[in-house]
Amino acid sequence: MLSSRALKNIEQLGRPWRFAPTPDYDPETNPKGLISFGFAENRPMRAEIVKFINEKVVFTLDSISYRSTTVLNARLPGVAAAHMSKALNSHTSIKPEDVFVADCPTSMGSMLGFNLAAPGEGILVNRPVYGRFELDYGIEAGVEIVYADTDTEVAFMPDIVEKYEQALADAKERGVIIRAVLLVNPHNPVGRCYPVKTLKHIARFCDRHKLHLISDEVYASCVFETGDPEAVPFTSILSLDLKNLIDPNLVHVLYGFSKDFASGGLRLGFLVTQNEQLRLACKMCSRFHSPSQAAVTIGIAILEDQPFVERFTAKTRESLAASYKMATSTLDRAGINYVKGGNAGFFIYVDLSPFLPDGDFIREQEFALAERFLDAGVFLHPGEEHGKDAGWFRLVFSQDESALKEGLRRLVLLLSVLKPATGS
Ligand SMILES: Cc1ncc(COP(=O)(O)O)c(C=O)c1O
């Protein structure tokens, strides 16, 4: 017999489409293989990091030793703080002692859930949002993700705090205590950044209610030029003068290598917080959540080579801009609606509601549509972003050119067949 929490977790495995299928498309060796628009990975930029690692990184005995026996770990917070001060344009330089190193933002979500809330308590998030937070905060810590339903436009406006107020009151009524607001900036899946005014309103809201403010900024450098004068530039919560807005002890920022350095498999991430108690609590959990010394060796080498980081970031932005343009122009030509104004991250939030088959339940209709996509050789994750309206999917455009072209071709072809059939 297993524990009740283990059984509750296992139940989640039964949820349809919880996990994504593995793509196996290759233009040369498997041109009919599956192309996934589901994984938030910057696939074209991986080669640059691999080249850097193969040419520049030197492993030493420390790279495979227990972490408490090496000097490597003392170096990482300093170089990470210097890098993040620049990448996040922090109001004051980030101090090395405010940087907590962990294996990845996913695992830091679990640690934050564990250390900021008790089982059954909640973290407030507006939706649509990156769907895995339910797992990150829920599996080990047993914390509930409580959604404030928003339209995508409202989500970025200062008025969002009214939705948060409502969600807070609703949660209280059903006995759920909210401990934090979790923001994703730049936003996944909408691909936009939060305006300064909205950030300030949210910070004040958190301060008023004594809520922690977790700002997930893993896409901080993945902001690109689209030519749209309305596009909002990225502002980190740490670039604001937090005095008069919120107690700095309530503000915690997540950052890592998976997006800005296209290396999701490296498993290296950082929590920036001035809250010493929280850092100490995380330190106790770090037994289970530290990066490998191999990842630390690679991370230090990359961050210490700032000219490389600058070249890499510039190339990332160019590559994302080109893929975004290709994807949006294809969608425009095909008459497919999506959230405009994106300039960040790897995704376009696409409205495929006109193509939903008939049915009584939103999620089942989305599952049925996703099944049709799979048959056509493309994967879009149904229901994963927990949007309040049916039929919206996150399309990850940061693909190699051939995969992006072929994936979009398959998608548009299928939709052209489906559209008349639904009569919409
Ligand atoms: C907003 C956001 N936060 C956290 C993560 C998790 O990052 P990692 O895989 O590095 O743990 C992701 C991954 O897609 C993400 O999109």
| 293 shares a domain with 223 | yes
Q: What span, in angstroms and rounded, lies between the C-alpha atoms of 175 and 167?
A: 12
| Residue nearest atom 11 in ligand 1 by C-alpha distance | 106
C-beta of residue 192 within 8 angstroms of C-beta of residue 186: yes
| 196 shares a domain with 178 | yes
Locus of tokens 């900024």: 217
pLDDT in tens, 380-405: 999 888 788 889 999 999 999 999 99
Give the residue from 292, 308, 324 where a domain finishes: 308
| 406 shares a domain with 288 | no
CATH number of domain containing 343: 3.90.1150.10
**4 phi, psi to nearest 5 deg:** -65, -35
**Which atom number of ligand 1 is nearest to the Cα of residue 103?**
11
- Position 424 scores a pLDDT of 42
| 380 shares a domain with 338 | yes
- Position 421 scores a pLDDT of 46
How many domains would you assign to the chain? 2
- Position 359 scores a pLDDT of 80
Residue 148 confidence (pLDDT) above 80:
yes
- Position 423 scores a pLDDT of 43
Q: Is 218 in the pocket of ligand 1 (CB under 6 A)?
A: yes
pLDDT in tens, 19-34: 889 999 999 999 999 9
Rounded to two decimals, what is the model's pTM? Answer: 0.96
Average pLDDT score over residue span 264-272: 97
| 157 shares a domain with 212 | yes
Q: What span, in angstroms and rounded, lies between the C-alpha atoms of 237 and 234?
A: 10
Q: Is 291 in the pocket of ligand 1 (CB under 6 A)?
A: no
Give the residue from 263, 278, 308 where a domain finishes: 308
| Residue nearest atom 6 in ligand 1 by C-alpha distance | 106
**Which atom number of ligand 1 is nearest to the Cα of residue 109?**
4
pLDDT in tens, 297-334: 999 999 999 999 999 999 999 999 999 999 999 999 99
With bands split at pLDDT 50, 70 and 90, how would you rate the model's confidence at 420? very low
C-beta of residue 43 within 8 angstroms of C-beta of residue 403: yes
In sequence order, the β-bridge partners of residue 123 are: 145, 180
- Position 422 scores a pLDDT of 45
What is the CB-side half-sphere exposure of residue 71 using CA atoms within 13 A? 1
| 345 shares a domain with 239 | no
CATH number of domain containing 205: 3.40.640.10
| 200 shares a domain with 69 | yes
Residue 352 confidence (pLDDT) above 60:
yes
pLDDT in tens, 224-253: 999 999 999 999 999 999 999 999 999 999
Mean pLDDT of the chain: 95
- Position 300 scores a pLDDT of 97
Give the residue from 308, 334, 349 where a domain finishes: 308
| 338 shares a domain with 299 | no
| 199 shares a domain with 78 | yes
| Domain extent at residue 17 | 4-48+314-422
Instruction: Give the mutation target among 125, 185, 218 for probing the ligand 1 site: most ligand atoms within 8 A of CB.
Output: 218
